[in-house]
Structure 1
């Protein structure tokens, strides 16, 4: 038996598995990632749409008011409607309690101060309201309104 038999060969390593197509687990992970991305994009789109619609509502309502005093009254009315989304009964607050609620967590770090705050407190009841004061109040009140309207 010496010399007769099968010749022995070295052990051969099988080839590495191909990188394509991936294993089923990778497909599942990719599908979950795509679903999460679509859900995030839909949430973001809805949030931005609500923000745009609230901004348009604010701008249309304030622009429909003829005088600066009517604009202040419209701004106050819009803010009180939106305040109900944040705190039940907030639309019934008056004076300093109402102004404190308006300034709480204001986007942009506050800014109502005494001028715009005083205008919201009694501007709708003044005989004459300066248009520049209303112009200073409008962007701050709009930011507060949009912020409150997108909360649930």
Structure 2
């Protein structure tokens, strides 16, 4: 009995390679791609909104430049800018007049600045022969605020 078995040393299996990755890494990669796509879409929408906001304000500023300094002309420019922008972005509002138009402009704004504030000047001021400068300037500020918002 003196025979000994010829045993060899223990050999470990080779370490796994880096490719293909484990399923968890594939899921993580898919999640990252999804997040990147979502961020790209959100950034694109934000850029589009900013571009639209700049275009709206450019319409108002162009009309105000053409109007000059008389307060009544500035009020008329505000009324025209609101109508132009609203008609191009929300055609359903083209039929609105009077209090309905002011209520439509009030939506998404805190309070009721068009129905109960300086925006009421849009009802009859464009048809008057003159207006007060402070009335025109408060309306210009309000219209700028409205044009920075969303018309839908």
TM-score, length basis structure 1: 0.73
Question: 1 CA distance for matches of 2:36 and 2:10?
Answer: 47
The count of aligned residue pairs is 146
- Counterpart residue number, 1:48: 50
**Unaligned regions of 5+ residues in structure 2, if any?**
none
Tell me if structure 2 keeps the 8 A contact 1:80–1:91: yes
Please provide the CA RMSD for this pair.
3.2
Post-superposition, which runs of at least 4 consecutive aligned residues in structure 1 deviate over 6 A? 8-11
Residue 131 (structure 1) shift: 1.0
Tell me if structure 2 keeps the 8 A contact 1:81–1:91: no
- Counterpart residue number, 1:5: 5
1:136 matched to 2:138: yes
Superposed CA offset, 1:39-71 (max 9, x none): 322222122121122112212212321221111
- Counterpart residue number, 1:121: 123
* Higher alpha-carbon deviation: 135-144 or 32-41: 32-41
Higher relative contact order (CA 8 A, sep 6+): 1
Q: 1:13 to 1:42 in 2, by over 3 A?
A: same
